[in-house]
Copies of this chain bind each other. A is one copy, B any other.
Amino acid sequence: MKIMTASQFTQTNTSSPSVQDKQLDQTVLEILKHVQINGDNALFAYTEKLDGAQLDNLLVSEEEFYEAMELVDEEFVTALNQAKDNITAYHSLQIEKSWFTELENEVVLGQKITPIERVGIYVPGGKAAYPSTVLMNVIPAQLAGVKSLSITTPPNQNGKVNPYVLVAARITGVKRVYKIGGAQAIAALAYGTETVEKVNKIVGPGNVYVARAKKWVYGDVAIDMIAGPSEICIIADETASPRFIAADLLSQAEHDEEVRAICITTSQEVATKVADEVERQLTDLERKQIAETAIRNNGYIIVAETLIEAFEVANEIAPEHLQLMIKNPNEQLRYVQHAGAIFLGNYSPEPLGDYFAGPNHTLPTSGTAKFSSPLGVYDFMKKSSIINYSQKALLQAADQVIKLANTEGLSAHANSIQIRKDDHHA
């Protein structure tokens, strides 16, 4: 791993805008259009062409759910159920309530909270088929009160869906699982087909086609976020274990070659040892190839002069995952401005959050923690403002509202108030 100073790193940490990709857009827009026009037929055709599967039915059958239950072991189901309980406990604390406030002068204002009605969840397939994705997306939606939840995930060449994903769906009670992947799945959820119910919001991670399709349907439906390459950033002082740090960097690096794995430390000794440990641990990894590429391309060890400088660099990165492996991490927490999830101390490694602790693993990536939040119950609820004025209250406010409306040149706005004033005096 490259070892460098904070200012050397800052020069490498430039992001370039990502607005245009003509080839990708053309492919994705064509898929969106075909699905809109040809519905299920387009879905069958794309699934054959892109996933190599000839399907009779786009929906996972009850029989296939049972088959999946037979294929997984008891220990997995127990662990998944414990994860479900932890995720439910944490997300329950995010549920918001409507409120109303009575002001003086016969004015009531409020904020009414209602769930989004229909949500579609994209769950990647193939090598990256994650049952944890199901829990992390379904549970907050259910806690919000979403009535209709469906999952879509690509089938393998035999037309089958990952059994762990199906068992996770079953554990949460979601019954509608479509065997559709890619941009065609996003199109189907956004616009509906004979089989697929049109939804109001689409959530869940996916490959570059899925991400681009989500960008295009955004506005017609809501989406959670457009996920980019993921990252881990560890701030470590001299008390941190280089072995732990190296293992944690590699746990993120094994995801894919684009991952950024960064350790910022105030200790030159830790820096050197982490570099050694990473090399040593790399040799034993199952996904060595991927992790090694990520570490070579986007692995950095930054030696900071002070802890304050370390926090400045971390805030500039705004990492998806931030581990504070330092003395008194609770006290230092106030220096963190931008991060998706923050892991405190030596015994809160990032994989704990991926599966188990309870907070969501869908987190803002690629620096978007500067303006976005982890997925949560709040993503599946929406607000309506409430305004209730009495006649007396309106008459008191009337002249000022009329003045502002007229200033903006909107006389019919003014008239809507004036007509009530005249009525009172008539």
With CB as the reference atom, state the residue of chain B lying closest to A353.
B387
**Cβ contact within 8 Å between A388 and B19:** no
Chain B nearest Cβ from A397, distance in angstroms: 6
Chain B nearest Cβ from A68, distance in angstroms: 13
In this assembly, does A66 line the interface, its C-beta being within 8 Å of a C-beta of chain B?
no
In this assembly, does A265 line the interface, its C-beta being within 8 Å of a C-beta of chain B?
no
In this assembly, does A166 line the interface, its C-beta being within 8 Å of a C-beta of chain B?
no
Range class of the A interface residue count: 35 or more
In this assembly, does A159 line the interface, its C-beta being within 8 Å of a C-beta of chain B?
no
**Cβ contact within 8 Å between A93 and B101:** yes
Chain B nearest Cβ from A422, distance in angstroms: 9
**Cβ contact within 8 Å between A359 and B385:** yes
Q: Which stretch of A170-178, A266-274, A297-305, A401-409 is in the interface?
A: A401-409
**Cβ contact within 8 Å between B408 and A131:** yes
In this assembly, does A394 line the interface, its C-beta being within 8 Å of a C-beta of chain B?
yes
Copy number in the complex reads 2
Q: Which stretch of A3-11, A49-57, A77-85, A148-156 is in the interface?
A: A77-85
Within 8 A of B (CB), among A404-426: 404-405, 407-417, 419-420, 423
Q: Given A18-B220, A219-B215, A371-B200, does the pair A353, B285 have CB atoms closer than 8 Å?
A: no
Q: Given A116-B371, A201-B371, A349-B417, does the pair A330, B388 have CB atoms closer than 8 Å?
A: yes
Chain B nearest Cβ from A407, distance in angstroms: 5
Q: Given A222-B371, A420-B347, does the pair A217, B19 have CB atoms closer than 8 Å?
A: yes
**Max chain B C-beta neighbours (<10 A), residue from A107, A132, A244, A373:** A373
**Max chain B C-beta neighbours (<10 A), residue from A19, A114, A356, A394:** A19
* A 362-406 binary contact with B (CB < 8 Å = 1; else 0): 011000111111101010001111111111011001011101110
**Max chain B C-beta neighbours (<10 A), residue from A190, A286, A394, A416:** A416
Q: How far is the CA of A409 from the CA of B387 in the complex (A)?
A: 53
Q: Given A117-B370, A347-B389, A404-B83, does the pair A127, B409 have CB atoms closer than 8 Å?
A: yes
In this assembly, does A254 line the interface, its C-beta being within 8 Å of a C-beta of chain B?
yes
**Cβ contact within 8 Å between A132 and B404:** yes
* A 288-326 binary contact with B (CB < 8 Å = 1; else 0): 000100000000000000000000000000000010000
In this assembly, does A47 line the interface, its C-beta being within 8 Å of a C-beta of chain B?
no
**Cβ contact within 8 Å between B355 and A404:** yes
Within 8 A of B (CB), among A326-367: 329-330, 333, 336-360, 363-364
**Cβ contact within 8 Å between B127 and A336:** no
Within 8 A of B (CB), among A73-99: 75-76, 78-80, 82-83, 89-90, 93-94, 99
In this assembly, does A221 line the interface, its C-beta being within 8 Å of a C-beta of chain B?
yes
**Cβ contact within 8 Å between B222 and A355:** no
With CB as the reference atom, state the residue of chain B lying closest to A15.
B220
Which B residues lie within 8 Å of A244 (CB)? 416, 419-420, 423
* A 93-124 binary contact with B (CB < 8 Å = 1; else 0): 11000010101000111011010110000000
**Cβ contact within 8 Å between A219 and B415:** no
With CB as the reference atom, state the residue of chain B lying closest to A347.
B394
22 A-B residue pairs with Cβ-Cβ distance under 8 Å, sorted by A, are: A17-B191, A19-B217, A76-B403, A78-B400, A82-B400, A94-B111, A114-B336, A218-B218, A219-B226, A244-B420, A247-B415, A247-B419, A285-B412, A339-B384, A347-B391, A350-B416, A353-B387, A355-B404, A356-B397, A360-B385, A364-B382, A374-B385
Sample of 14 more A-B contacts, CB < 8 Å, known A254-B411, A343-B387: A76-B404, A82-B400, A83-B404, A109-B358, A117-B338, A127-B409, A200-B371, A218-B226, A251-B415, A254-B413, A281-B415, A351-B405, A357-B397, A371-B382
